[in-house]
Structure 1
Amino acid sequence: MLGGFGNYVFRMTIELVHWLVVEQTFELFNISTDEWSLQRVLVMFMPAIGGLLLIPLWILFPKDLKGGFSSFLVKVNLRGAKLPFRPLFTKGLASAITLGTGGSAGQEGPIAVIGGTIGSQFGKSFRMSNDRIKVLVACGAAAGVAATFNAPIAGVFFATEIVLLSSYGLSSFTSIVIASGMATVVSRALLGDISEIVAPPYVMGSLWELGFYVLLGILIGGLAAGFIDLHYRIKDRIEALKLPPLSKPFLGGLAVGVIGIGLPQVFGNGYEFISEVLVGHHNWYLLGLLVIAKMVATSITLGSGMPGGLFAPCLFLGAVFGGAYGHLLEVLFPASYMSPGAYALVGMGAFLAAATHAPMTAIFMLFEITDSYEVIVPIMLTCVIGTSIARRFKKDSLETFELTRVGIDLEAGKERNIMKAIEVSEVMRYPVETISERMTLGEFARFVEQTSHSNFPLVDDEGELTGIISVQDFMGVVFEKELMDLVVVKELATTDVITVHADESLDDAMRKIGYRNIEQLPVVDRKTHRKIYGIVSRRDMISAYNRALMNSSLGEEKA
Structure 2
Amino acid sequence: MRPSSTAFEIPRRLRALVRSRETSLVVLAALIGTAAGLVVVSMSVGVDFLHRTFFELSPGERLSAHRMLDPVRALAVPVAGGLAFGLAMALLARWRAGREVDPIEANALHGGRMSASGSLSVAGQTLWSSGVGASVGLEAGYTQLASGIASWVGRAFRLRRGDLRILVGCGAAGAIAGAFGAPLAGAFYAFELIIGSYSVASLAPVGLAALLGHVVASAFAPTSLGIIAASASAITGRDLAIAGVLGLLAAGFGIALMRGVALCEALFVRAKVPAMLRPALGGLAVGALALLSPQVMSSGHGALHLAGVLDRSLWAIALVFVLKTLASMISLGAGFRGGLFFASLLLGALGGQLFASGLGALWPALGLDTNTYAIIGMGALSVSVIGGPLTMTFIALETTGNFWLTTAVLVAVIIATQVTRETFGYSFATWRFHLRGETIRSAADVGWIRDLTVGRMMRSDVKTVPADMALPAFREAFPLGAATQVVAVDAEGHYAGLVLVSEAHAPEHAEAATIGEILRHGDDVLMPYMTIKEAVEMFDRTEAEALAVVSRPGERQVVGLLSEAHALRRYAEALELRRRDVLGQE
Q: Shorter chain as normaliser: what TM range?
A: 0.7 to 0.9
Amino acid at match of 2:153: F
Shift of 1:512: 2.1
Give the Cα–Cα distance (whole angstroms) in 2 for the partners of residues 179 and 318 of structure 1: 28
SS of the aligned residue for 1:81 comes to: coil
State the match for 2:195 in structure 1.
164
Which of 135, 142, 145 in structure 2 is aligned with 1:104?
135
Question: Is 1:238 the equivalent of 2:261?
Answer: no
**Superposition map of 1:335-374 within 5 A:** 335-374=365-404
Instruction: Assess, with a 3 A threshold, how the Cα gap between structure 1 residues 309 and 364 changes in structure 2: closer, same or farther.
Output: same
Is residue 317 of structure 1 aligned with residue 356 of structure 2?
no
SS at match of 1:86: helix
**What are the Cα deviations for residues 170-208 of structure 1, in whole angstroms up to 9, with x where unaligned?**
22221111111112111222123x424443345545312
> Map of 1:357-506 to 2, 5 A cutoff?
357-404=387-434, 405-409=436-440, 410-411=443-444, 413-418=446-451, 454=485, 471=500, 474=503, 478=506, 480=507, 484-485=510-511, 506=531
TM-score (norm 1): 0.76
Higher relative contact order (CA 8 A, sep 6+): 2
Q: What are the ranges of 5 or more consecutive residues in structure 1 without an aligned counterpart? A: 26-31, 436-441, 458-467, 524-532, 547-559
1:539 corresponds to which of 562, 568, 573: 562
Q: 1:336 Cα shift?
A: 1.7
Match of 1:518 among 520, 540, 545: 545
Residues 279 and 445 of structure 1, relative CA distance in 2, 3 Å threshold = farther
Asked if 2 retains the 8 angstrom alpha-carbon contact of 1:53 and 1:97, the reply is no
- The 3 A distance-change label for structure 1 pair 201 and 469 is same
Q: Which amino acid aligns with 1:377?
A: T
Contact 1:119 1:140 in 2 (8 A): yes
Distance in 1, matches of 2:98 and 2:380, equals: 29
**Are positions 1:181 and 2:211 aligned together?**
yes
Match of residue 229 from structure 1: 259
Deviation readout 1:388-409 (Å, 9 max, x if unpaired)? 1011121221101222342343
Structure 2 counterpart of 1:142, from 156, 173, 179: 173
| C-alpha distance in structure 1 between counterparts of 2:356 and 2:380, whole Å | 14
- The residue aligned with 1:438 is none
- The partner residue of 1:212 within 223, 242, 246 is 242
Q: Hey, what's the Cα distance between the residues in 2 that align with 1:284 and 1:538? A: 69
TM-aligned CA deviation for residue 44 of structure 1: 2.4
Deviation of 1:53 (Å):
3.6
* Rounded Cα–Cα distance in structure 1 between residues aligned with 2:87 and 2:343: 26
Deviations 1:250-289 (A, max 9, x none): 1221122122222322111112222333346333344344
CA deviation after TM superposition for structure 1 residue 244, in Å: 3.3
The code of the aligned residue for 1:339 comes to D
CA displacement at 1:48 relative to structure 2: 1.6
User: Separation in 2 of the partners of 1:19 and 1:348?
Assistant: 28
SS at 1:406's partner residue? Answer: coil
C-alpha change, 1:149 and 1:450, in structure 2 (3 Å) is same
Instruction: Quote the sequence identity (%).
Output: 22
Distance 1:256 1:421 in 2: 50
Task: Identify if the C-alpha distance between structure 1 residues 244 and 231 changes in structure 2 by more than 3 Å, giving closer, same or farther.
Answer: closer
Q: 2:224 — aligned with what? A: 195
Q: 1:239 offset after TM fit, Å?
A: 4.0
By how many angstroms is 1:135 displaced?
A: 2.3
Deviation at 1:222, TM superposition (A): 1.8
CA distance in 1: counterparts of 2:187 and 2:132, whole angstroms: 30
Q: Paired residue for 1:90, among 107, 121, 137?
A: 121
When residues 413 and 219 of structure 1 are mapped into structure 2, their CA distance, relative to the original with a 3 A threshold, is same
SS at match of 2:336: coil
Deviation at 1:347, TM superposition (A): 1.0
Distance 1:35 1:273, change over 3 A: closer
In the alignment, the residues of structure 1 paired with residue 325 and residue 524 of structure 2 have an alpha-carbon distance, to the nearest angstrom, of 45
Q: What is the identity, as a one-letter code, of the residue corresponding to 1:99?
A: S
Structure 2 residue runs without a partner (length 5+)? 1-33, 59-64, 489-496, 551-555, 571-586
| Separation in 2, partners of 1:501, 1:417 | 15
RMSD of aligned Cα (Å): 4.3
Residue in structure 2 matched with residue 46 of structure 1 by the alignment: 77
Give 1:341 shift: 2.0
Please say which of residues 506-515 and 106-115 is displaced more in the overlay.
506-515
CA offsets 1:397-453 (integer angstroms, 9 cap, x no match): 11012223423435351132357999xxxx9x9xx9989xxxxxx986777778999
Instruction: Provide, for residues 217-255 of structure 1, a one-character-per-residue CA deviation record: whole Å limited to 9, x for no partner.
Output: 111112222222222222233245433332222122112
Residues 360-392 of structure 1, C-alpha deviations (whole Å, 9 max, x = no match): 110111110011111222111111110110111
Cα pair 1:105 1:309 within 8 Å, conserved: yes
Whether contact under 8 Å (1:15, 1:100) holds in the other structure is: yes
Output the CA distance in 2 between the equivalents of 1:511 and 1:400.
26
Q: Is the contact made by 1:520 and 1:536 (CA closer than 8 Å) also made in structure 2?
A: no
**Aligned equivalents of 1:126, 1:84: Cα separation in 2:** 15
Change (3 A) 1:121 1:286: same
Alignment of 1:284-323 (within 5 A): 284-323=314-353
